[in-house]
Structure 1
Amino acid sequence: MQADIAIIGGGMAGASAAYFLSRGAAVVLLEREEALGLHSSGRSSEQFTVGIGADTMRRLAQASRSFLERPPEGFAPIRLLSPRGCLTVGRTDQQASLQRLHGRLTGVGAEARYVDRNEALQLFPALRADRFDSGVLEPGAMDIDVNALLQAYLRGAKANGAKVLTNASVSAIERGSGKWRVMTPAGDISCSMVLNAAGAWVDEITRLAGLEPIGLTPHRRTAFTFLPTGVDASRWPHVSNVDYRWYVSPRGDSLVGSLADAVPVPPGDVYPDDLDVAQGIENIEQDTTFEIGRPLSKWAGLRNFVADKNPVCGTRPNADGFFWLAGQGGCGILTSPALGQAAAALMLGHELPDEQRALGITPNDLAPNRPGLMS
């Protein structure tokens, strides 16, 4: 099969890149599983926020806001975002951390304001008043309909002529005569460019191409659901403490809780750790009035990081036509519009979008050979 670009990985990163790249190139999207978005993309906490510590990631989140709020006509049949808000609370001795969070939010143009204990309790009544003193509210934080977003990217890519192949694990990648050859059980792809968007398997795919890995490390995060007792928490904000020992987020009639852990693991399917679930429950019960007991469900997902915790999008001088889109660190859903647009711009020889350049994002910020990363 001939194509301009082969994208390896059918999660949110690969799907968003396929959508934007297929506007100007012939694209084949390859996914080794039977369905798309089974790993990190299918296990997201579904939150849009720009309260992110990593600088480039935070700016990419803000650059993604307008697309998610106002996608192109016909992109999705339903709204992708719904109001939620994000509340971060802390003690008096943690005010410096709350101030840094407030500065990160306002520094990229997001709305943020300080709240006292009384207002925080009005927003999230299950907090224990003696466990915190104040907080920072991000009113513009939203819930994301992850499945609707993923399907919209795929539907749009297919409408643009992209081919999507499942059960297409990559067995070999070769370079010759100015072309890349990507070999899969679904057929071989001959293409000018390859985009490695394989999530936790990015470095494995890189090695198949005979290139040096970018140094990506998958991390497991465990989460669980539970029912609040005697209250309707469906309109409460997402809440966490400022040292990020736990978070709680409404999801329908239940709540999602987590220790907010990040445990390095090899690439592969991951399962919830019972000790992490128990510690998450203990931490939440210490700071709230919830009595969780046995969770309704539990699961784990992967968050993938490079050394500086910012994403990788671009190529290296020794990798002619081979590009990376990786290291989204749990923010791949909410940054998918900006990173998909960035991948398309860099691969097709265009400038980054105006919205990203206005926030100070440059190709060097995204480059896989930037200082501090393996090259």
Structure 2
Amino acid sequence: MQADVIIIGGGIAGASAAYFLSGQGSVVLIEREPHFGYHSSGRTAAQFTVGIAAGTMRRLAQASRAFLESPPPGFAEERILTPRGCLTVARAGQEQSLSRLHDNLASVGARAQHLDRAGALALFPALLAEHVASGVYEPDAMDIDVNTLLQGYLRGAKARGAQLLAGASIAAIERKGGQWLVSLDGQQIRAPLLLNAAGAWVDQVAGLAGVAPLGVVPHRRTAFTFASPAGLGTAAWPHVSNVDYRWYVKPETGCLMGSLADAVATEPGDVHPEDIDVAQAIHNIEQDTSFRVGRPLSQWAGLRNFTADKNPVAGARAADTEGFFWLAGQGGCGILTSPAMGQAIAAIMCDRDLPEGLRALGVSAADLSPQRETLRPAA
């Protein structure tokens, strides 16, 4: 099979890239798992927020808002975003951290409200007053319908002629005669351009292609659901966390989701929750709220993949084999930044300027480059 671009990795990153690139040429999207979005993309808190510490990631989130709020006609039958709000609370002495969060939100034009103790408790009444001094509220944070977004990318890419291959194990990758040759069970795909969007496995895919690793490190995060207290209407409450990120809680349909907000470096794989992490998360939540969690209804773990500077990568390195591109290191923000990241990598691979929406927020190709100074190993 001949194509213009081969994309390896069928999570949200690869799917968004396929959507935006398929309008420019023929695309083949390859996913090893039996269905798309199996790993990190299927195990997310599904929150849209721009309260992100890493500067480029924060700007990419804001640049993605317009697409998520108003996707192109026919992209999705259901709305992708629904209002939720995000509350971050602090104890006495943590005001400086809250101020940094407020400034980060304001830096990309997002609304942010300083709250006193009473204001924070009014939004999330389960907080214990003695453990809350103040808060910052992001009223325009949203819940993301991840499946609607993922299926919109896949359906749109397919409508534009993209070939979507799930359950496809890669046996070999080589560069020959100006083409990338990707060998699968029973077939070979050729294209001049190859995009590595394999999430936690990007460095492994690079190794198959004879390309040096980027240094992306997968981190495990654990989450679980638990019953809402009887008689307490939590459905309209915001997502809430403490400013030192020892836990977070988010209302879900008929229950609540909790997490330790952990980031434990691990090897790429199908990760599972550790009992000790779930127990620690429950302890932390019960220290700061009136919730008594009891036995979780469900629990799981997912991977968040970080570069050295915690900002994502989209582009190519001069030292790599010609036609090899990276889309990696979204650090748990891959869902909410996928419109901007997909548009960015499509522009870069087609040798065009980044879209105006990204440039207006100060995002440049150099900010996303895998050659940027902040990703270079220490001498």
Q: Distance in 2 between matches of 1:175 and 1:306?
A: 26
Partner secondary structure for residue 212 of structure 2: coil
Q: Distance in 1 between matches of 2:99 and 2:307?
A: 27
Partner secondary structure for residue 223 of structure 1: strand
- Is residue 214–residue 374 contact of structure 1 (8 Å, CA) maintained in 2? no
User: 2:301 matched to 1:300?
Assistant: yes
**How much is the aligned-residue C-alpha RMSD, in angstroms?**
0.8
Q: Distance in 1 between matches of 2:287 and 2:169?
A: 45
Choose which of 361, 364, 368 in structure 2 pairs with 1:362.
364
Task: After superposition, give the CA deviation of every residue in 1:332-368 in whole Å (9 maximum; x if it has no partner).
Answer: 0000000000010000111101010011111111011
Residue 94 (structure 2) aligns with: 94
Superposed, 1:202-221 pairs within 5 Å as 202-221=202-221
Give 4+ residue runs of structure 1 displaced > 4 Å after superposition: none
- Is residue 232–residue 253 contact of structure 1 (8 Å, CA) maintained in 2? no
Q: Distance in 1 between matches of 2:90 and 2:265?
A: 27
Residue 72 (structure 1) aligns with: 72
Q: Distance in 1 between matches of 2:127 and 2:187?
A: 55
Partner secondary structure for residue 203 of structure 1: helix
TM-score (structure 1 length as normaliser): 0.99
Superposed, 1:275-314 pairs within 5 Å as 275-314=276-315
Cα distance change of structure 1 residues 236 and 186 upon mapping to structure 2, 3 Å threshold? farther
Unpaired runs of 5+ residues, structure 2, are: none
Residue 251 (structure 1) aligns with: 252
Task: After superposition, give the CA deviation of every residue in 1:26-82 in whole Å (9 maximum; x if it has no partner).
Answer: 000000011111100000100000001111000000000000001001110010000
User: 2:237 matched to 1:236?
Assistant: yes
Partner secondary structure for residue 296 of structure 2: coil
Q: Distance in 1 between matches of 2:99 and 2:372?
A: 29
Partner secondary structure for residue 93 of structure 1: coil
Partner secondary structure for residue 130 of structure 2: helix
Paired amino acid for 1:363: A
- Is residue 167–residue 186 contact of structure 1 (8 Å, CA) maintained in 2? no
Identity of aligned residues (%): 64
Residue 345 (structure 1) aligns with: 347
Deviation at 1:123, TM superposition (A): 0.5
- Number of equivalences: 375
Q: Distance in 2 between matches of 1:153 and 1:113?
A: 34
Task: After superposition, give the CA deviation of every residue in 1:273-314 in whole Å (9 maximum; x if it has no partner).
Answer: 100000000000000000001111100000000100000100
- Is residue 167–residue 185 contact of structure 1 (8 Å, CA) maintained in 2? no
Deviation at 1:227, TM superposition (A): 1.0
Superposed, 1:1-375 pairs within 5 Å as 1-185=1-185, 187-230=187-230, 231-319=232-320, 320-374=322-376
Deviation at 1:92, TM superposition (A): 2.4
Unpaired runs of 5+ residues, structure 1, are: none
Deviation at 1:232, TM superposition (A): 1.3
Deviation at 1:186, TM superposition (A): 5.3
Paired amino acid for 1:80: I
